[in-house]
Amino acid sequence: MDAQGRGRAENIDPADQWVLNPNTGEYELRLSPSAPQSTVPGPRRAGTRGSGGAPRARTSPAGRDKTGREQAGGEKQSAPERGEVPGQRRRRGAPAEPAAGRRGRRPAKKPKARKAVLWTGGVLAFLLVAGAGAGYLYIEHLNGNITSVADDGASTGGFQKDKAINILLIGTDKRTGAGNEAYGDSGSPGHADTTILLHVSKDRSNATALSIPRDLIVDVPDCPTTQEDGTSEVIPGTPGVRFNTSLGQSGRTPSCTMRTVTELTGITPDNFMVADFNAVKTLTTAVDGVEVCLAKDINDTDSKLNLPKGTHTIQGEQALAFVRTRYAVGNGGDLSRIGLQQQFLSALMRKLKSNDTLTDPSKMLKLAEAGTKALTVDSQLDSIGKLKDLGLELGKLDTKNLTFTTVPVIDNPAETVKATVVPHPTTAPQVFQMIKEDVSFTEVKQQKAKEKAAVAARLKGSKADPAEVRVRVLNGGAPSGSAQETLNWLQNDEGVTKSENAGNADSALSRTTLEYAPDQADQARRLAAIMGLSGSAMKPGESVDNSQGLPTMTLTLGKDFKGAGVSLTAPAKAPEGVEKSTADKVVCAE
């Protein structure tokens, strides 16, 4: 459903109905003198829209909604009193809504791919602050704005507060919404035109926003996809295709894009968000525009951006034209446009974190309205409460520690006319490993120096001769045969002859570990140097007896294992040549 189909409460803007009480610090419903405030929440929205536009109540056999509350049955809904925030209005021509019950979520059907030119952690955090303090009715109203689709088992199951967070932000090229058909390609099913993997560190001190080029050649894996009738169909994967075909092509959903990102980077996203062209227009308008900088005059007939050199405050259609500009900047390719979009997002985040926005209740509520309408989210983020929890985690970030970067690439060697790119064979894996290892791309003062020094100290000291190293190798999530492959390499190439294949570990590990007793530290340091293990992979503890009854260390190969002889240590900083910028810096587009 697009923004036009959502309706309004007559001539009343919901944002104007809530005011900040300076005594309590909370938002309160402002009523007219003739309409006393009720202490009982208003009627809840009855159901979920089906394929024909008619509402459909969601009930359990016991006659209760998903939360266990009694449903209202056949009671007639009364019209909202003046001053109350009304529920969702039905689409014109749709049947009247049935009796009040719990507001159902939209079913997980084909995604109505909504494009945004992106979404970042800081944006979402402040869009949802209003939801945290507003009243029950308005929370329900915002819930009614949210569209969700199934993640089809492609995610981790949702972000967790005590772990690092990985959110996949997808902007599609689908031309839905008023006026957007004028941008051409009106028949597009909605490809993954602009995609960012947002990684937020476990301690929330830093974040990395990794842009994935639309023309990057990747392998799209097989994708189980939920169909309209609730059944699942596996859409066959395709090797060696553009990344943007991971969405929309052959009926692929955002979960297919999520699986493709995992295939590419080795990182499984926790959640995804999809947004459309209207998101850029509505969000920038809600904050009264964002300031961008141009190093030259731009007159792009394709994107319809016409601005002279200098700084400009843009919003609405002009903001959309800015982020769509491609041929007028850099070398005219998609990589140049990515830089422009990163500049735009940095400017939007700075505006959102400014006092002008945070202290204006009306503006915050308009942002909440715009954000919840613009997004399509996965089934793990299908309520304002869940989005608010995520927003509070992301809101802990400082813009100076949010780094924008792009997957390092080279021209596709298989092409004569350069139109696509492939991952850089050396630096791309290093960037992916940094994100997996939760390594910051910026200098973060909040890092725990004492803990960092203790981990690094495990690698310092004398090293035993390889022939003295006793180790048993287990497979704890690495590809089949990895333990024997490593054993052969250690014995034949590295001189670690006192080693054995101990089979499979009791459970799978995300990272390779080396367990050793204190008196085996010199052996552990030698093996860590051979394997390319970091200090954090070394686990001082107890040794075990091997098949000869002698004390031995235990090397467990985790899911991060890439093959015998491939280092498992992530770089301490971004590799040379990787372009990056932080959200607190103003960069002028060239």
Domain ranges of the chain: 121-439, 455-557
Query: Are domains 121-439 and 455-557 of this chain identical in fold?
Result: no
The reported pLDDT for the residue numbered 588 is 81
**Chain segment 140-149, per-residue pLDDT in tens:** 777 888 888 8
CB contact at 8 A, 473 and 500: yes
Query: Higher model confidence: residue 195 or residue 395?
Result: 195
| 168 and 261 Cβ atoms separated by less than 8 Å | yes
Find which of 30-44, 294-308, 490-504, 574-588 is predicted with most confidence, using mean pLDDT: 490-504
pLDDT at 439: 86
* Residue 155 pLDDT: 95
Which tokens go with 36?
A: 């006393």
Domain 455-557 adopts which CATH fold? Alpha-Beta Plaits (3.30.70)
Does residue 47 have a pLDDT over 60? Answer: no
Find the range with the poorest average confidence among 146-160, 191-205, 277-291, 562-576: 562-576
Report whether pLDDT(544) > 80.
Answer: no
Residue 300 has pLDDT above 70, yes or no: yes
Asked if residue 281 has pLDDT above 90, the reply is no
The pairing of beta strand 192-200 with beta strand 207-212:
antiparallel
Q: Which amino acid is at 413?
A: P
Q: Which residue has the higher pLDDT, 435 or 175?
A: 435
Residue 198: pLDDT over 60 = yes
Average pLDDT of 474-489? 93
Q: Say whether 5 sits in a helix, a strand or coil.
A: helix
CA-based nearest residue to 241, from 224, 216, 205: 216
pLDDT at position 340, please?
84
Structure tokens at 448: 């725990």
Cα three-residue angle 443-353-275, rounded to 5 degrees: 95
CB burial readout 427-439, b (16+ within 10 A) else e: bbbbbbbbbbbbb
Backbone torsions φ then ψ of 489, nearest 5 degrees: -65, -45
Kind and range of the H or E run holding 220: strand 217-220
**Closest to 415 in 3D by CA, of 253, 215, 264, 180:** 215
Q: Residue type for 89, please?
A: R
Q: Which pLDDT does position 24 carry in this prediction?
A: 61
| Predicted pLDDT at 413 | 93
**Stretch 429-446: mean pLDDT:** 82
Q: What is the pLDDT of residue 348?
A: 82
CA angle 306–334–147, rounded 5-degree value: 90
Residue 260, pLDDT score: 97
Given a cut of 50, is residue 580 above it in pLDDT? Answer: yes
The values of phi and psi at residue 70, to 5°, are -65, 140
Q: What is the pLDDT of residue 113?
A: 35
Q: For residues 266-283, give the mean pLDDT.
A: 86
The CA distance from 429 to 432, in Å, is: 5
Q: Which pLDDT score is estimated for 444?
A: 66
Mean pLDDT of 510-521: 88
Over 50: is that where the pLDDT of 116 sits? no
Q: Is the pLDDT of residue 342 over 60?
A: yes
Q: Is the pTM of this model over 0.75?
A: no
Q: Note the pLDDT of residue 541.
A: 78
pLDDT band of residue 48 (cuts 50, 70, 90) is very low
Q: Provide the pLDDT for residue 16.
A: 54
Closest residue by Cα to residue 453 from 531, 529, 535, 519: 535
Answer yes or no: is pLDDT of 319 > 80.
Answer: yes
- Is the model more confident about 431 or about 54? 431
pLDDT score of 454 more than 60: no
The DSSP H or E segment spanning 280 is: helix 277-286
Identify the residue with better confidence: 291 or 574: 291
Beta carbons within 8 Å of 138's beta carbon, 6+ residues apart: 14, 17, 18, 27, 29, 85, 131, 365
The Cα 143–Cα 105 span in angstroms is: 8
Distance CA 212, CA 118 (A): 12
What is the token pair recorded at 122? Answer: 């800081």
Task: Name the CA radius of gyration of the chain, rounded.
Answer: 27
pLDDT at site 28: 60
Per-residue confidence band for 133, with pLDDT thresholds at 50, 70 and 90? very low
Q: Does residue 332 sit in helix, strand or coil? A: coil
pLDDT of amino acid 21: 64
Dihedrals phi, psi of 314, to nearest 5 degrees: -120, 150
* Mean model confidence pLDDT for the chain: 75
CATH code assigned to 121-439 = 3.40.630.190
User: Tell me: the pLDDT tens digits for 5-31?
Assistant: 344 444 555 555 555 566 665 556 555
Task: Specify the pLDDT at position 547.
Answer: 61
The pLDDT value recorded for residue 270 is 96
Q: Parallel, antiparallel, or unpaired: how do β-strands 305-307 and 298-300 relate?
A: antiparallel
DSSP single-letter state for residue 417: S
139 and 128 in contact (C-beta within 8 Å)?
A: no
- What end-to-end distance do the CA atoms of the chain give, in Å? 37
279 token code pair: 């998101």
| CA 105/CA 212 separation, integer angstroms | 30
Q: Are 367 and 305 in contact (CB under 8 A)?
A: no
Is residue 106 scored above 50 in pLDDT?
no
- Which residue did the predictor score with more confidence, 536 or 553? 553
In this prediction, what percent of the chain has a pLDDT beyond 90?
28
User: Structure tokens of 11?
Assistant: 């001539």
Tokens 């280092």 belong to 567
Q: Is the pLDDT of residue 137 over 80?
A: no
- Give the Cα separation of 329 and 462 in Å (integer): 54
Would you state the structure tokens that stand for residue 136, as one six-digit string?
């029950």
pLDDT reported for residue 231? 85
* Per-residue confidence (pLDDT) for residue 510, from 0 to 100: 84
CA–CA separation, 176 vs 298, rounded Å? 26
Type of residue at 14: P
**What was the pLDDT predicted at 166?**
96
Q: Highest mean pLDDT range out of 164-178, 252-266, 449-463, 545-559?
A: 252-266
**Who wins on pLDDT, 69 or 360?**
360
The reported pLDDT for the residue numbered 255 is 95
What is the reported pLDDT for 68?
41
Tokens of 391: 């927003």
Q: pLDDT by residue (tens digit) across 399-430?
A: 888 899 999 999 999 998 888 999 999 899 98
